[in-house]
Amino acid sequence: MSVQKAVVVSEKLGVTVDPLAVVQTLIEYGDKWVVEVQRAKAERAGIAAWEHTQVERIHTQREVLLKALELTFDERSENFRRLFDGLDSAMSAEDPGQVASFLESITDLAKSSPFNELANLEIVVSDLKRPDQVWDV
């Protein structure tokens, strides 16, 4: 047998308040606050996980790109070495046609940029995304 009594809050205003309704309202909004805090925490955790994944992905792509550049420059260096060795041989043999050919090849290689292949970033990104792409390391 529950007896509800009205409480007079202010005699000037004549406002009466049901204490049980006040407590129920406090509990209801407290519950809503707890649910919202938990939702926000879960959302922040999801964002943090996504961020971590993206950062790791960027680091992986960076490493692949740096290795590709390293290999490109190694190959380029080897090409220059071979061409200059050929130039030395042609000069020792006093063969002006071969000397001219090697000088032209050296000039062409020097004019070309190893970054030309990276000019179209979409190609690089698509290669990085391909699971069947083989990268020689």
Q: Which residues pair with 8 in a beta bridge?
A: 16
**135: nearest Cα among 65, 56, 59, 73:** 65
The confidence score (pLDDT) of residue 5 equals: 62
CA 129 to CA 71: how far, in whole Å?
20
pLDDT at 43: 95
pLDDT of residue 24: 94
- Consecutive 10-residue averages of pLDDT for the chain (137 residues): 56 71 92 95 94 88 77 81 90 90 87 67 69 67
What local confidence, expressed as pLDDT, does residue 115 receive?
Answer: 67
